Amino acid sequence: MKSIEMAGRTVDEAVENGLKVLRVTKDKVSIEVIDKGNKGILGLLGSKPAKVILTVKEDYEVIAKKFLRELLDKMGIKCEIHVKDEDDILKVNLVGPKMGILIGHRGETLDAIQYLLSLVINKSNEENAYKRVVIDTENYRQKREETLVRLANRLAYKVKRYNKSITLEPMNPYERRIIHSALQNNPYVVTHSEGEEPFRKVVIEAKR
């Protein structure tokens, strides 16, 4: 984290000076006053400058944009990066042509970039709460969720009809959750997961 110590005749002046050096606005820093200073008598005798420490707050949007811009540049992908910092979750949307290459097979590339970004974001804020990061492009996440819900319902019907349990292919926790919650209220089947990460699979069974 970047922080500097600044002095000035008054606290306000010291802060002003610091902001000029850091080239940021006041809302982007946290201010700690070490010494309020003393004007002295007639501004001459025994005057002491005010001292403050300014610390630039972690700006997730800036970190995320910088990392992704460089990453995508080096991958040879041109696109716009939209970042929204919502309370405990950082939402990134990528807009451009040929986003397929960015999504990859079953979203594996998108998930990999999302994971790396979350590591970079959370590395810089060890003292703060864990920040979740979601990267999306072309509404892929929502479309994938709809596909999984449809798949879940179709397989649940098969399970009920043939009274045989079905094991799905390995999925990440996020996608497994979608399947589980889609069938949670299904009166004919129950679901659970089997195996070890990263090969954990959802199993759909008929309810006895």
Partner 1 sequence: MKELVELIAKSLVDNPDAVKVSEISGEQSVIIELRVAPEDMGKVIGKQGRIAKAIRTVVKAAATKQNKRVVVEII
Q: Give the footprint of partner 1 on this chain (CB under 8 A).
A: 67, 70-71, 74-76, 101-102, 104, 108-109, 111-113, 115-116, 119-120, 123, 197-198
- Rg, the chain, Cα only: 26
Nearer residue to partner 1 within complex by CB, 74 or 208: 74
Smallest gap from Cβ 74 to partner 1, in A, equals 4
Nearer residue to partner 1 within complex by CB, 160 or 201: 201
Helical (H) or strand (E) element with 139: none
Orientation angle between helical segments 140-162 and 173-183, nearest 10 degrees:
50
Smallest gap from Cβ 82 to partner 1, in A, equals 20
User: What's the DSSP call for residue 41?
Assistant: B
Nearer residue to partner 1 within complex by CB, 32 or 108: 108
Strand partners, 8: 50
Whether the CB-CB separation of 7 and 50 falls below 8 Å is answered with yes
Smallest gap from Cβ 67 to partner 1, in A, equals 6
Long-range contacts of 19-24 (CB under 8 A, 24+ apart): 19/54, 22/54, 22/56, 24/56
Smallest gap from Cβ 13 to partner 1, in A, equals 36
Nearer residue to partner 1 within complex by CB, 38 or 128: 128
